[in-house]
């Protein structure tokens, strides 16, 4: 006998309490297979694709795109044909990676399910949420009525349409995914002789202002803001600066780019700075540590998970390269390229953002010379790499135009004292001003 299974939004990792629903990949009435992607959600850490834990027919969607869903609340109802009434859920993985079920189904983790063979992703669609059934095991009629789908539109556009009594189905959409944009709605209102109204602010203490735009703080940006506040007011920050003549490093970079060993590899100044940092940590390991408040201990790591601050359309993210200390310069350059491309495409996963030990922020790509970066929470240090500029500089007793950059090191003064921070920064400067030592020590 068919039964209804209610899929509750799971904990997507690291104690997260909610997630924003970005898009539904299915609509009411659709048939889904086990592990088929049903939705994309954004947590405070990353964007995650949710696989279906059941095979069957979609009966109800419990959230609208753009809304925030609490962990443990109903997410989707699926009618299954499981006659025994038991769950057709995703199998649990075992220590050897096997499912433990007959047939050897591939186990999946939340957000990274593998669709069943032959399954293709449906076009993004949005449907009106429907109430949760009174009982998740109640039988349904053999034929479930199809509920109408709603036009795609952002919440502010829906609110404005509601103000004017407009059915968005009457508005011609021009958005990339077939959604009705603000411009589409304004053109429609103009065509029927109605002036678009200014959306009222939810803050009743402030008057509406057509010259202001309000952006909800949620997802990655919300997490980043909270993390930076905690870091700034928990770890006592100290920042030191050093100007470095990196002309020899830039010359070496030109030579390496012509070397056949680096053919097809995008070798950048950041790769050499990252390699210099990894070498400098060998004699200055305190910079690669963390503070254990509960145990009142300093934890010095023998591994380096190198974080790279990346500006993405979804906000600041700091994915990290695991065990970067084990990589040669070529492998490090490849890892940096993959990391930044993945971040810009919005495909960085929660695991890529976890367990960083030290971070580099490349402010030089924005033409900035120096800064006082805030520590990534849980780390002892962060290095800001400034722009490389041609400047007059003393060289061998004469003034010459040289390639100069500024390194800014912020560190947690509970973990790193002034001498340790200064020695680390001086080591970095020595390596970049004489990069042959970088090759010798790598």
Mean pLDDT computed over 189-196: 75
Note whether 132 and 185 are same-domain residues: no
Q: Is the pLDDT of residue 359 over 90?
A: yes
Structure tokens at 206: 């402030």
Are residue 141 and residue 171 in the same domain, yes or no? no
Query: Which of 148, 172, 206 is where one domain is finished?
Result: 148
The answer to whether residue 243 scores a pLDDT higher than 60 is yes
Q: Report the CATH number at residue 83.
A: 2.40.50.100
60 to 47, 84, 129, 132, 350: CA distances (angstroms): 23, 22, 6, 7, 28
Please give the pLDDT value at position 230.
Answer: 76
Average pLDDT over the chain reads 80
Mark whether 328 and 370 lie in a shared domain.
yes
Higher pLDDT, 390 or 162: 390
Query: What is the model's pLDDT at position 143?
Result: 40
Task: Using the structure block, give the residue that is written with the tokens 């050093």.
Answer: 242
Residue 411's pLDDT band (boundaries 50, 70, 90)?
very high
* Domain end residue (candidates: 148, 183, 204): 148
pLDDT value at residue 299: 94
Domain that holds residue 162: 155-191
Residue 205 lies in a domain: no
- What are 401's two structure tokens? 């135009």
More confident: 74 or 159: 74
What is the secondary structure of 289-317 as a DSSP string? Answer: EEEETTTTEEEE-SS--EEE-EEETTEEE
Catalytic residues: 413
| Pair (165, 237) in one structural domain | no
CATH number of 174's domain: 4.10.320.10
What pLDDT shows up at residue 227?
A: 75
- In this structure, the answer to whether residues 123 and 173 fall within a common structural domain is no
- 204: in domain: no
∠ CA 354-360-364, rounded to 5°: 140
Of 9-13, 290-294, 361-365, which gets the smallest average pLDDT?
Answer: 9-13
Last residue of a domain, one of 118, 148, 178: 148
Position 39 in a domain: yes
CA distance 344 to 47: 12
Same domain, residue pair 144 and 160 = no
Residues 6 or more apart whose Cβ sits within 8 Å of residue 238: 410, 411, 413, 416, 418, 421
Residue 177 pLDDT: 63
**173 shares a domain with 141:** no
Q: How far apart are CA 270 and CA 65, in angstroms?
A: 38
Mean pLDDT of 301-311: 94
The predicted model gives 13-32 an average pLDDT of 83
Whether 199 shows a pLDDT value over 70: the answer reads no
Domain count along the chain: 3
Q: Grade residue 348 by pLDDT with cuts at 50, 70 and 90.
A: confident
Q: Are residues 182 and 273 in the same domain?
A: no
- Same structural domain, 259 and 395: yes
């Amino acid at each position: 006998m068919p039964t209804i299974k209610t899929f509750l939004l799971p904990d997507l990792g690291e104690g997260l309490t909610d997630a924003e629903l970005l898009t539904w990949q299915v609509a009411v009435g659709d048939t889904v297979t086990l592990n088929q992607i049903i939705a994309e959600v954004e947590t405070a850490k990353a964007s995650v694709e949710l696989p279906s834990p059941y095979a069957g027919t979609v009966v109800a969607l419990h959230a609208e795109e753009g809304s925030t869903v609490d962990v443990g609340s109903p997410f989707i109802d699926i009618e299954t044909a499981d006659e025994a009434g038991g769950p057709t859920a995703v199998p649990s993985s075992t220590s050897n990676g096997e499912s433990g079920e007959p047939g050897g189904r591939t186990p999946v983790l939340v957000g990274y399910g593998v669709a069943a063979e032959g399954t293709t992703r449906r076009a993004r669609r949005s449907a009106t949420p429907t109430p949760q059934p009174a009982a998740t095991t109640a039988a349904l009629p053999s034929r479930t009525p199809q509920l109408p789908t709603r036009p795609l539109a952002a919440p502010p556009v829906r609110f404005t349409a509601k103000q004017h009594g407009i059915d968005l189905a009457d508005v011609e959409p021009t958005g990339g995914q077939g959604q009705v944009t603000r411009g589409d709605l304004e053109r429609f209102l103009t065509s029927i002789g109605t002036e678009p109204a200014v959306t009222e602010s939810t803050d009743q203490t402030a008057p509406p202002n057509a010259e202001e735009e309000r952006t909800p703080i949620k997802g990655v940006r919300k997490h980043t803001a909270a993390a930076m506040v905690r870091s700034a007011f928990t770890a006592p920050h100290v920042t030191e600066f050093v100007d470095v003549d990196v002309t020899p490093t830039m010359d070496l970079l030109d030579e390496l780019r012509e070397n056949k060993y680096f053919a097809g590899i995008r070798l950048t100044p950041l790769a050499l700075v990252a390699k210099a940092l990894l070498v400098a940590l060998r004699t200055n390991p305190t910079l690669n540590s963390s503070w254990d408040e509960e145990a009142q201990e300093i934890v010095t790591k023998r591994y380096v998970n190198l974080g790279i601050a990346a500006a993405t359309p979804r906000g600041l993210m700091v994915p990290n390269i695991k065990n970067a200390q084990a990589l040669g310069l070529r492998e490090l350059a490849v890892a940096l390229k993959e990391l930044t491309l993945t971040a810009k495409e919005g495909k960085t996963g929660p695991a890529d953002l976890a367990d960083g030990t030290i971070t580099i922020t490349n402010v030089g790509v924005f033409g900035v010379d120096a800064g006082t970066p805030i520590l990534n929470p849980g780390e002892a240090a962060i290095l800001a790499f400034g722009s490389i500029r041609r400047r007059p500089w003393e060289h061998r007793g004469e003034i010459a135009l040289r390639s100069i950059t500024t390194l800014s090191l912020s560190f947690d003064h509970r973990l790193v004292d002034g001498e340790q921070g200064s020695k680390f920064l001086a080591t970095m400067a020595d390596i970049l001003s004489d990069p042959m030592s970088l090759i010798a020590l790598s």
